[in-house]
Amino acid sequence: MELLVQPDDGIAPILEAIEGARRSIDMHIFRIDRKAIEKALAEAVKRGVVVRTLIAHTANNAEEALRKLEQRLLAIGATVSRSADDLVRYHGKMMVVDRRTLYVLGYNLTRADIDKSRSLGLRVRKPELVKEALALFDADFDRKSYKGNARYFVVSPVNSRERLARLIKNAQTQLLIYCAQVSDNAMIRLLEARAKAGVDVRIIGKIEKGHTIAAQKYAGQRLHVRAIVRDGRWAFVGSQGLRRLELDARREIGVIVKHPRVVKRIVDIFEADWAATDAGKKEKKEEKKEAKKEAKEAKEEKKEAKEAKEETLRASA
């Protein structure tokens, strides 16, 4: 398993995956403006790779752009399907290479998301997750229903609410959350309950006003990631956040993983981003103040101990 981090990693991991494909590429596309990726897909078709692409039926009144993307993909020899119109939007970002490797992304294949945003993605080879991702892709590609069986494959509107709620409810010590807009009241109540129980709940992004927990604004250029880390052991990465629309009315895709190295890296990235927020800076300032105070007290204690020792020596003389 590998964590993909933007803007650090750029398009290289996706290009390498496409260039390394031997049999098939299945892509769930929402937005793409990276010509290098389209060129890599064209080259894959030329060497005999079966490329299937699923494009959203709508994207913020961008029907013309979607139609042009469809035409470009058809021109290179890819098979193209447009998503059904049963949901508000098909917003998932996923790729399966050679039916063996799954890429679940929190970002679109665009310059804005890759070069200018904090975002995350995962490369996964766990057979259960790959199999479920293919089942979802086939269902959406053929406009058929998808039920969802894999425990850690998170799909809106099928199971996201239940699985993310369970992830939050089971937190014992800490919840670190990246979310552009936390606004689902049921999820906010769960977060408030965990905070009341003593769990360290920290959010980078935004949260609806009028609640007892707050969020910190991301200090970088742009935030385009949905991720949750629970107790430093479990992590969710995907395209759905704690927002009703993303949980209940759109196709969103994510995974929940328990991989020590990957989870630790997400925690490290979050902590670095948190340190740059207003709250993080304030905490750092308070820590320095406390450290200075402790150092002063230790110095005074050492001085007092020295004086007491000298007094004892003088008394014994």
Instruction: List the domain boundaries for the chain.
Output: 2-275
Q: Count of CB atoms within 10 A of residue 304's CB?
A: 10
CB 173 within 8 A of CB 229: no
Q: What is the pLDDT of residue 212?
A: 93
CB 130 within 8 A of CB 123: no
| Weakly modelled stretches of the chain, pLDDT under 70 | 59-61, 317
- Per 3-state DSSP, the chain is made up of helix, strand and coil in percentages (nearest 5) of 45, 25, 30
CB 252 within 8 A of CB 246: yes
Q: What is the pLDDT of residue 117?
A: 97
CATH number of 2-275: 3.30.870.10
Q: What is the pLDDT of residue 170?
A: 98
Provide the β-strand partners of residue 4: 121
CB 280 within 8 A of CB 266: no
Q: What is the pLDDT of residue 59?
A: 67
Q: What is the pLDDT of residue 63?
A: 78
Q: What is the pLDDT of residue 317?
A: 66
CB 90 within 8 A of CB 245: no
| pTM of model > 0.85 | yes
